C-alpha cells in the first residue's frame, strides 16, 4: 500500500471514530444570550458557532446551560443537530457568576436527570467551557465513562497577573477548581500556543494532552459587504469622520477607559480633530463593571469628551458587523484576552485593529500588517497608534484590506474540524487506557 493510501486510511479511521453526540456544558452563560450583555461575550459566540459547525460535520451537540428566566422550554433547537437544554439550578435572576459555585450540585443533578432518560452510551464525550462547567463535566464524564475535553477560555492565575486598576482579583477557590479540572480532563483545548504554555506553566498541564485550536469567525456574517460608506449611512454616522470603535463588555478587564483617555490626548494635540472624531462604545456593563455601570460615562464627562463619545447598548451580530464596517479602526486595550474574537470579527469586515499585545491578540492581529499592537496600557501609546492611522489614510486602507485577508484563515469550519480531531484523540486515549487497565 502506498504511503498516501496509508495516510488516507488513518484519516478515514480517525473520522469514523469521531463522537456521534457531545454533551457541551456552559453553566454560567447561555448560547442563546445576547453577547455584550452581563456575562455573555466571546465564549457565547464560540459555543454557538462551534456547535453549529460540529453538527454540520456530523456530530450532534447538546448544550446544557442554567435557566435564567422562568417558563423556558426544557430544550430549544438552536440549529439542525444542536439542542440547548435549560437546567434549573438556583433562582432564575439575581445570581452573579461568583454565586454559581453553590449551584453546581443542583446543575449536575439536572444534567444527570436528562442523561437518565436516555439509553446508555447516549453521549460519547463531554466538552466543558470555563471552570464552573469543568466541575460538572468532570463528574458527568466519570459517571458516563466517557472522555472530558475542557476549554478554559480564561484562567484565574493569568487574569490576576494582569489585573486592571480597580478590578477584583479572582478568588482562590477558582484557582483550586481550575487546577483540579486540568488534572481530570482527558484533553485541554487552548486558543493559542501562548495559552497552552500558560496551562503548562501555571497549572502543570500535560503538554501531550493540551491541543491548540484557534477559534473561528462567521465569515458569512462578518465580511466587508457593501463597504464603510453604506454602513455609516445605515448607522447615521458622518462619512468623513475618523471613528475608533470599542465593542465589548464594559468592565476594567477590557479597558475601554484607555480609549477615552487616548481620545482626550488626541484632542489636546489637535483640537481641530474634534470636528471629525466620533468614538462609539458599543456594549453593556459586565463583571466588576456592574458595580459602577455609569463609571465610563462619568469619565467621558470629566475628560470633556461627551460630544465625541457615543454610548450604545449591545447589538445583535448583524448590526455589530455594520459597526465594524463603519469604524475606521477597532480598539482593544484589554488587560487580558484568551484570544480576542472581536478583533478577528472586525478584521473580517475589513477594519484594522489597534490592540494590546496580550494573550491571544498577537495571533488574532498581525502587527504592522492587519493592525497595530501596543505594549502596555498607557493611553499615550494608543493615541500614537491612532494618530498613525489618522495621518496616513493609505496605511489605514492597506491594513483594512490585509485585515480581511488575515481573518479569512479563521473560518469556524476549520476550527470545528480541528476540535473533532481532539475529540477523536480523547476517545482513542480513553479506549487505550481501558484496554491497558483490563490487561
Q: Locate the domains of the chain by residue range.
A: 21-216+413-438, 228-410
Report d(CA 58, CA 60) in Å as an integer.
Answer: 7
Q: Is pLDDT at 253 greater than 90 in this prediction? A: no
- The correct answer on CATH 3.40.50.2000 for the domain covering 228-410 is yes
Q: What local confidence, expressed as pLDDT, does residue 1 receive?
A: 40
Residue 288 backbone dihedrals phi, psi, to 5 degrees: -70, -15
Per the CB < 8 A criterion, the answer to whether 189 and 150 are in contact is yes
Q: What local confidence, expressed as pLDDT, does residue 7 receive?
A: 41
Residue 264 backbone dihedrals phi, psi, to 5 degrees: -60, -40
Report d(CA 301, CA 292) in Å as an integer.
Answer: 15
40 falls in which pLDDT band (50, 70, 90)?
Answer: low
Lowest-pLDDT choice from 159-168, 221-230, 304-313, 318-327? 159-168
| Residue among 420, 421, 425 at smallest CA distance from 21 | 420
Listed in sequence order, the DSSP H helices in 279-376 are 295-303, 317-326, 341-348, 361-364
Percent of the chain scoring above 70 in pLDDT: 92
Q: Is pLDDT at 432 greater than 50 in this prediction? A: yes
Q: What local confidence, expressed as pLDDT, does residue 287 receive?
A: 58
Residue 354's SS3 state is strand
Enter the DSSP assignment of 146.
Answer: -
Report d(CA 185, CA 211) in Å as an integer.
Answer: 12
6 falls in which pLDDT band (50, 70, 90)?
Answer: very low
Topology of the domain comprising 21-216+413-438: Rossmann fold (3.40.50)
Report d(CA 6, CA 11) in Å as an integer.
Answer: 9
Q: What local confidence, expressed as pLDDT, does residue 16 receive?
A: 47
Lowest-pLDDT choice from 102-106, 264-268, 275-279? 102-106
What are the binding residues for Mg(2+)? 324-325, 327, 351
pLDDT digits (tens, 9 = 90+) for 134-158: 999 999 999 999 999 999 988 999 8
Q: What local confidence, expressed as pLDDT, does residue 45 receive?
A: 85
| Rounded average pLDDT over 255-264 | 97
What are the binding residues for 1D-myo-inositol 3-phosphate? 28, 39-44, 97, 130, 154, 174
5 falls in which pLDDT band (50, 70, 90)?
Answer: very low
Angle among Cα 230, 232, 235 to the nearest 5 degrees reads 110
What are the binding residues? 28, 34-35, 39-44, 97, 130, 154, 174, 249, 254, 315, 324-325, 327, 337, 345, 351
Residue 356 backbone dihedrals phi, psi, to 5 degrees: -70, 145
Long-range pairs, 193-200, Cβ under 8 A, ≥24: 193/363, 194/359, 194/360, 194/362, 194/363, 195/152, 195/338, 195/339, 195/359, 195/360, 198/155, 198/157, 198/158, 199/152, 199/155
Q: Is pLDDT at 11 greater than 60 in this prediction? A: no
pLDDT digits (tens, 9 = 90+) for 304-330: 999 999 999 989 889 999 999 999 999
Instruction: Check for a shared fold between 21-216+413-438 and 228-410.
Output: yes
Q: What local confidence, expressed as pLDDT, does residue 9 receive?
A: 40
| Rounded average pLDDT over 117-131 | 94
Q: Is pLDDT at 48 greater than 80 in this prediction? A: yes
The number of CA neighbours under 13 Å toward the Cβ of 410 is 31
Q: What local confidence, expressed as pLDDT, does residue 198 receive?
A: 94
Residue 184 backbone dihedrals phi, psi, to 5 degrees: -85, -30
- Looking only at the bridges linking them, the beta strands covering 371-374 and 353-356 are parallel
pLDDT digits (tens, 9 = 90+) for 78-95: 999 999 999 998 887 777
Q: Is pLDDT at 34 greater than 80 in this prediction? A: no
44 falls in which pLDDT band (50, 70, 90)?
Answer: confident
Q: What local confidence, expressed as pLDDT, does residue 296 receive?
A: 92
Report d(CA 261, CA 281) in Å as an integer.
Answer: 13
| Residue among 55, 62, 119, 105 at smallest CA distance from 85 | 62
Per the CB < 8 A criterion, the answer to whether 87 and 66 are in contact is yes
Q: Is pLDDT at 174 greater than 80 in this prediction? A: yes
Q: What local confidence, expressed as pLDDT, does residue 323 receive?
A: 98
What are the binding residues for UDP-N-acetyl-alpha-D-glucosamine? 34-35, 42, 249, 254, 315, 337, 345
311 beta partners: 281
**Which pTM does this prediction carry?**
0.81
Q: What local confidence, expressed as pLDDT, does residue 392 receive?
A: 97
Q: What local confidence, expressed as pLDDT, does residue 363 receive?
A: 93
Positive or negative, the CA dihedral 417, 140, 29, 335 is negative
Per the CB < 8 A criterion, the answer to whether 21 and 423 are in contact is no
Query: Which span out of 41-55, 190-204, 282-296 was modeled with the highest average pLDDT?
Result: 190-204
DSSP line for 122-141: S-SEEEEEHHHHHHHHHHHH
| Residue among 55, 47, 50 at smallest CA distance from 29 | 47
Report d(CA 438, CA 317) in Å as an integer.
Answer: 50
Percent of the chain scoring above 90 in pLDDT: 73
Amino acid at each position: 500500500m502506498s504511503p498516501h493510501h496509508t495516510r488516507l486510511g488513518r484519516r478515514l479511521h480517525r473520522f469514523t471514530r469521531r463522537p456521534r453526540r457531545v454533551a457541551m456544558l456552559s453553566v454560567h452563560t447561555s448560547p442563546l444570550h445576547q453577547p455584550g450583555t452581563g456575562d455573555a461575550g466571546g465564549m457565547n459566540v464560540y459555543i454557538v458557532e462551534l456547535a453549529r459547525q460540529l453538527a454540520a460535520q456530523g456530530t450532534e451537540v447538546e448544550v446544557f446551560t442554567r435557566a435564567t428566566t422562568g417558563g423556558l422550554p426544557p430544550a430549544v433547537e438552536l440549529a439542525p443537530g444542536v439542542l440547548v437544554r435549560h437546567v434549573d439550578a438556583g433562582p432564575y435572576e439575581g445570581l452573579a457568576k461568583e454565586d454559581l459555585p453553590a449551584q453546581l450540585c443542583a446543575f449536575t443533578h439536572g444534567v444527570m436527570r436528562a442523561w437518565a432518560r436516555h439509553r446508555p452510551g447516549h453521549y460519547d464525550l463531554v466538552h466543558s467551557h470555563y471552570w464552573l462547567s469543568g466541575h460538572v463535566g468532570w463528574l458527568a464524564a466519570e459517571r458516563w465513562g466517557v472522555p472530558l475535553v475542557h476549554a478554559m477560555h480564561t484562567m484565574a492565575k493569568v487574569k490576576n497577573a494582569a489585573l486592571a486598576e480597580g478590578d477584583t482579583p479572582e478568588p482562590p477557590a477558582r484557582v483550586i477548581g481550575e487546577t483540579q479540572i486540568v488534572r481530570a480532563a482527558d484533553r485541554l483545548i487552548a486558543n493559542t500556543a501562548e495559552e497552552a504554555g500558560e496551562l503548562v506553566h501555571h497549572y502543570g498541564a500535560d503538554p501531550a494532552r493540551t491541543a491548540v485550536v484557534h477559534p473561528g469567525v462567521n465569515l458569512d456574517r462578518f465580511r466587508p459587504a457593501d463597504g464603510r460608506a453604506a454602513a455609516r449611512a445605515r448607522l447615521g454616522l458622518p462619512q468623513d469622520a475618523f471613528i475608533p470603535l470599542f465593542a465589548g463588555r464594559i468592565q476594567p478587564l477590557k479597558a475601554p477607559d484607555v480609549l477615552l483617555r487616548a481620545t482626550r490626548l488626541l484632542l489636546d494635540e489637535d483640537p481641530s480633530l474634534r470636528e471629525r472624531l466620533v468614538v462609539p462604545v458599543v456594549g453593556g456593563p459586565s463583571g466588576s463593571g456592574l458595580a459602577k455601570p455609569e463609571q465610563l460615562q462619568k469619565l467621558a464627562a470629566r475628560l470633556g469628551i461627551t460630544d465625541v463619545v457615543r454610548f450604545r447598548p449591545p447589538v445583535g451580530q448583524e448590526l455589530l458587523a455594520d459597526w465594524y464596517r463603519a469604524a475606521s479602526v477597532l480598539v482593544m486595550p484589554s488587560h487580558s484576552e484568551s484570544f480576542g474574537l472581536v478583533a478577528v470579527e472586525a478584521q473580517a469586515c475589513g477594519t484594522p485593529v489597534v490592540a494590546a499585545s496580550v494573550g491571544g491578540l498577537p495571533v488574532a492581529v498581525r502587527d504592522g500588517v492587519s493592525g497595530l499592537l501596543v505594549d502596555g496600557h498607557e493611553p499615550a501609546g494608543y493615541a500614537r497608534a491612532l494618530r498613525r492611522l489618522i495621518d496616513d489614510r493609505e496605511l489605514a486602507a492597506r491594513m483594512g484590506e490585509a485585515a480581511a485577508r488575515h481573518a479569512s484563515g479563521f473560518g469556524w469550519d476549520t476550527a470545528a474540524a480541528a476540535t473533532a480531531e481532539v475529540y477523536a484523540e480523547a476517545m482513542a486515549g480513553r479506549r487505550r487506557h481501558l484496554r491497558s487497565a483490563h490487561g
